[in-house]
Amino acid sequence: MEVVTKIEFAALEPKLSPETLRVLEQQLGFLRATPVQVATIPLLCSFKDVAVDAATGSGKTLAFVVPVVEILRRLATPFLQENVQVGAMIISPTRELASQIFGVAQKFVKTLENLTALLLVGGTDVTADLERVKEQGGNVLIGTPGRLHDIMERSTALEFRHLEARTSDLSSLDTITSLFIVSFQILILDEADRLLDMGFQRQVSAIIELLPKQRRTGLFSATQTQAVEELSKAGLRNPVRVEVRSEVKGASTTFKTPAGLNIEYLECEGEEKSSQLVNFLRENASRKTIVYFMTCASVDYWGTVLPRLKTLKDVPIVVLHGKMKQSVRVKALEKFTAMPAGVLFCTDVAARGLDIPGVDWIVQYDPPQDPNVFVHRVGRTARMGRAGDALVFLLPKEDAYAEFLRIRNVPIEKRDKTEVPHIIPKLRAAAMKDRDVMEKGLKAFVSYFRAYKEHHCTFIFQWKQLELGKIAMSFGLLQLPSMPELKRGVLTSQHFTPVENIDVDSIPYREKAREKQRRKNLEKKPDTSREERKALAPSKHQKDRPAKRAKKRSHRDREELEEINSDYRLLKKLKKGSISEKAYSKLMSLEGDV
């Protein structure tokens, strides 16, 4: 399959407007369409519901933005003359992706006279968005499900003067909602599987309930899950299913990853990981690289300590994760996007849909908890027919993950490990000079372990087999934190060598103002009483929160996890010789592709 077909946008039926074709060619530089665009644009423009399953980086954004604009362009003139009348809505799982879609859509919306597009995402004051809706209106709403649902529920968002003349009953939410969606035409759910994974099912379902049934709906995703199927049944009417995959010339397998993507895995011991990462970043200093970690704390730590190493002094590093303020996240993404070369340290907040130009390498320092996210991460490179490379770090006891990916149609090969300079002494030296580094290192190590325990592939990522001592060394810890798993003997501290003759309480913050405040606090409270410690300890309700979240997610993902574990059990039988390759292939085909 070619990433870009020989079919020009101008040849699609129904015909696209001259204004849309000009934007595609002159502003975006696209003359020919990708397979997903060829398949989807005509269907949506012909008022068909679609459920699209296409490999990441295949051009899905234009596949729904173009039909949205074309449908609104065809509306009768009176329909959308007033900004309060919403004609289309695009729902995205993350703020970054919603912002990116908004940027693309704006180029087309500007060709529509008197029509406006509005970006509505979380991270900002909702009252400010309500004011924007009141002042500007919005014929095309693009945003995250929580904020969109919030705006739709608040009647004040629709208290427009010209609406008051039409009805005397504005006290009823139903009345206001009906006015709000009187001309609604099309709903787009982008990254539908991620919307559900992130817990937005309630908001998405509520939005769908508020919208008129006589509409077009497009559901787009790179992976189809049982939950997505259920959403499709609830929100789409007799949808046309579009499935586009990448194929390697001469091969019989259809892959879930872009054709120009080369994926490798590097197997190394726990204490070697950070040294291998630093060496990789140094060798690829002239490239543009995204490095994924499992937790926000890990991003904070590595983003703080690695720039202090002389080895990486000329390598610009940007950090991005979900706990950062929205304004900071936007600036970080803009900064990395503008870089000709550099590194982005991030969590899965940047794993879906984002189209960052010129990314050469995707490095997964931590394999994702959800195996479906692997495809989305590597899809940030090799986009739209370009070449790209990806690397994932695996511990020796995690090597079965490579086979697991292969049976899920993700091609991956082993990368040879080379001897590299050890950086653990340098990490420890940085921790001894700055309390901030020491504290962030401890927090990152603990958060990594907690996240590891929640891996979906429990047959491969078995937390009880983790060699915590080696991993703690890789984090550059000075001492091991007090952990229940170590106290009870479930795990051991073998291979960890603590730094001797050091008083960690005396390590100062490098930032003078912060250190001054710390010393001031110590003078006020030289020791914490038993009562104070009890008061500061998390309540039973707080302690139960992680367990409740895990239980909720476990219930939601049970079917998918059972399927994953079933695949792995079959793989083990094949490797042991219990079943033949023919029987294995037959069983896998019966169970279906995930």
**CB neighbour list of residue 452: distance below 8 Å, 6 or more residues apart:** 294, 461, 463, 466
* Domain 44-245 matches domain 260-487 at the CATH topology level: yes
Closest CA to 115 of 77, 166, 158: 77
Which residue is listed with tokens 């020989």?
6
Per-residue tokens: 141: 């709403």
Enumerate the domain spans of the chain.
44-245, 260-487, 511-594
Placement of tokens 């690829």 in the chain = 284
Per residue in 468-503, pLDDT (tens digit) is: 999 999 999 999 998 998 888 889 899 999 999 999
Q: Which positions ≥6 away from 436 have C-beta within 8 Å?
A: 304, 509, 510, 511, 514
Helix 435-452 and helix 512-524: axis angle, to 10°? Answer: 80
Structure tokens that stand for 84 in this block: 């309060």
- Spatial neighbors of 255 by CB under 8 A, at least 6 apart, are 55, 245, 246, 247, 248, 409, 410, 411
> Quick check: 71 and 186 in contact, CB under 8 A?
yes
Q: Are 187 and 216 in contact (CB under 8 A)?
A: yes
The strand order across the sheet containing 261-267 reads 317-320, 342-346, 288-292, 361-364, 388-394, 261-267, 413-414
Strand ranges (DSSP E) for 6-106? 50-54, 88-91
d(CA 109, CA 34): 22
Across the chain, which distance is largest between two alpha carbons, in Å? Answer: 80
Distance separating alpha carbons of residues 559 and 541, to the nearest angstrom: 29
What are the φ/ψ torsions at residue 296 (nearest 5 degrees)? -65, -40
Residues in the chain, how many?
594
Burial class (CB in 10 A: 0-12, 13-18, 19+), 310: exposed
d(CA 299, CA 317): 11
pLDDT at 584: 60
Strand-strand pairing, 50-54 and 240-244: parallel
Low-confidence ranges of the chain (pLDDT < 50): 1-2, 76-79, 155, 157-181, 248-253, 528-529, 531-533, 536, 556, 559-560, 589-594
Q: CA 458, CA 400: separation in Å to the nearest integer? A: 12
pLDDT at 569: 67
The tens digit of pLDDT for each residue in 392-424 reads 999 999 999 999 999 888 999 999 999 999 999
Q: Within 13 Å and on the Cβ side, how many CA atoms surround 458?
A: 11
Q: Give how far Cα 347 sits from Cα of 293, 306, 326, 448, Å.
A: 5, 17, 15, 12
pLDDT of residue 210: 84
Confidence (pLDDT) at 256: 64
**DSSP assignment of 262-281:** EEEEEE--GGGHHHHHHHHH
For 414, list phi and psi in degrees, rounded to 5: -80, 140
- Is residue 127 packed enough to be buried (19+ CB in 10 Å), middle (13-18) or exposed (0-12)? exposed
Secondary structure of 131-145 in the HEC alphabet? HHHHHHCCCEEEECH
Q: Is 561 helix (H, G, I), strand (E, B) or coil?
A: helix
Helix (H, G, I), strand (E, B) or coil at 317: strand
Q: Which residues contact 313 (CB under 8 A, 6 or more apart)?
A: 307
Q: Which residues pair with 414 in a beta bridge?
A: 265
- DSSP, collapsed to helix, strand or coil, labels residue 220 as strand
Tokens representing residue 310 in the block: 């002389």
Those residues whose C-beta lies under 8 Å from the C-beta of residue 546, and which sit 6 or more positions away, are 450
Q: Look at domain 260-487 and name its CATH class.
A: alpha beta
d(CA 364, CA 346): 10
Q: Which residues of 339-355 are buried (b: 16+ CB within 10 A; e: fewer)?
A: eeebbbbbbbbbbbbbb
Strand partners, 8: 32
**Beta carbons within 8 Å of 115's beta carbon, 6+ residues apart:** 72, 80, 87, 109, 139, 140
> Residue 118: CB partners within 8 Å, gap ≥ 6?
132, 133, 136, 137, 138, 140, 141, 142, 143
CA distance 362 to 412: 13
Q: What are phi and psi of 390, to 5 degrees?
A: -140, 145
Is domain 44-245 given the CATH code 3.40.50.300 in the classification? yes
